Amino acid sequence: MVSVVDRVAVVTGGRRGLGAALVDELLARGARKVYSTARTPYTDDRPEVVTAVLDVRAPESVAALADLAGDAELVFNNAGVLLPAPLLTGDLSKVTETIDVNVLGLLRVARAFAPILAEHGGGALVNMHSVLSWLAGSGGYGVSKAAAWSLTNSLRLELAGQHTHVVGVHAGFIDTDMAAAIDRPKAAPADIAARILDGLEADAAEVLADEVTAGVKAALSGPVEKLAFSFAN
């Protein structure tokens, strides 16, 4: 069982939305310290929270965070972007940035913190995916989340030897600034954060954070044509 009590955690993208909810939930469950990152400087008055600037696209920024958080035992790869763009007609730079942040950003953080986690007995790495990892039609964002799912599954194998527990989190739309323009039912960030930590503490390899996600995962054995979604719906 992976315990949160008295542990040191890193939450990327922890300033707002789901990241902020994860910081709150970690502290509520007894975490000793939480490093919380954003792209720009900010402050948090809680003594257990250490804020830091992080751009997951920049290797030097990721390395600086790893130097700062050398006592980390739990890493939550939450930072991400949602830049809707059709693959054939959309702005290719948006597709490129989305993949750089949502896929390569996860990998940069994982590579930087893997040795640190090993030094502390293995710990845990938690990566945020999406229900759109499994649904076609969301352009570059869906491609990035499908790749993130594959990345996490491979990292689980590569990190097993150092006893790092790897968790992949899939969720539908969450009531955050990122999804504000999407007219779909949304879950509260605090509810999703609680389910993520429930899964982590139960040693789950994958967290399906809501009923919609569980339904889509169950449909993966069916016709691929039915696995579709559009931001325009």
Mean pLDDT by groups of 10 residues along the chain of 233 residues? 95 96 98 98 98 98 98 98 93 97 98 98 97 94 97 98 98 72 76 97 96 93 76 53
DSSP-derived 3-state class of residue 1? coil
Exactly one of 134, 141, 173, 231 is catalytic; name it: 141
Asked whether residue 29 is domain-assigned, the answer is: yes
Asked whether residue 18 is domain-assigned, the answer is: yes
CATH number of domain containing 215: 3.40.50.720
Q: Which two tokens stand for residue 100?
A: 């750089």
Asked whether residue 160 is domain-assigned, the answer is: yes
Question: What is the model's pTM?
Answer: 0.93
pLDDT of res. 187: 81
Q: How far is the C-alpha of 89 from the C-alpha of 206, rounded, in Å?
A: 34
pLDDT of res. 226: 67
Angstrom CA distances, 152 to 50, 101, 148, stand at: 26, 15, 6
Asked whether residue 2 is domain-assigned, the answer is: no
Q: Which two tokens stand for residue 174?
A: 């969450």
Asked whether residue 218 is domain-assigned, the answer is: yes
Give which of 193, 110, 204, 175 is closest to 148, Cα–Cα: 110
Task: Compute the half-sphere exposure of residue 25: CA atoms within 13 Å on the CB side of its CA.
Answer: 23
Angstrom CA distances, 151 to 27, 88, 133, 147, stand at: 28, 24, 12, 6
Task: Compute the half-sphere exposure of residue 38: CA atoms within 13 Å on the CB side of its CA.
Answer: 16
pLDDT of res. 222: 85
Asked whether residue 137 is domain-assigned, the answer is: yes
Asked whether residue 231 is domain-assigned, the answer is: no
Active-site residue 35, yes or no?
Answer: no
Task: Provide the number of structural domains found in the chain.
Answer: 1
pLDDT of res. 233: 47
Domain that holds residue 52: 8-226
Asked whether residue 34 is domain-assigned, the answer is: yes
